[in-house]
Amino acid sequence: MSLKKGDKAPEFTLKDHLGNDHSLKDYLGKKVVLYFYPKDDTPGCTDEALQFKDLYEEFKENDVVILGISKDSEKSHQKFIDKYELPFLLLSDPEIEAINNYGVWALKNKFGKEYYGILRSTFIIDEEGIIKDVFLNVKVKNHGDEVKKCILST
């Protein structure tokens, strides 16, 4: 499944680091930066999270919500949030339901070994729940600035 600009963003309900449910519909009326990342506290994922942390206040002032999703546990998310003082929500998708619905579960290859994992991706979702932009197979360097430019120009 390949989501694109103009598609309705697939609904989900996932738990945060405290075990509270969060659904995409909870954020109707706000812009959402929904980013999928492979694993808590790894170099690329930490760099990406810290970029979003640096932009958090500016996004918040513009009524933009940041939600990160990985298949890591709630406990893993709690440690990651605490370690880097992340001010936004990380949601746990151990059953890879949202990950599959957004089409970011993919066959990957590292050092000749094939495995399935999350394709680092970001979706910009508007106030009505429509996808306004898609970043697939994200390269971490400067990604926060790319997202900022995209979301604050719409």
| Residue in the structure block whose two tokens are 């989900």 | 12
Mean pLDDT computed over 15-44:
96
**pLDDT above 70 (res 133):** yes
Could you list the active site residues?
A: 45
| 3 vs 46: CA distance, rounded Å | 26
pLDDT at residue 154, rounded to an integer: 59
Neighbouring C-alpha atoms within 13 Å toward the C-beta of 71: 15
Please, what is the average pLDDT of the chain?
94
pLDDT single digits (tens) 39-68: 999 999 999 999 999 999 999 999 999 999
Identify the CA nearest to 125 among candidates 151, 88, 92, 98: 151
Identify the architecture of domain 13-152 in CATH.
3-Layer(aba) Sandwich (3.40)
Task: Please give the model's pTM, rounded to 2 decimal places.
Answer: 0.94
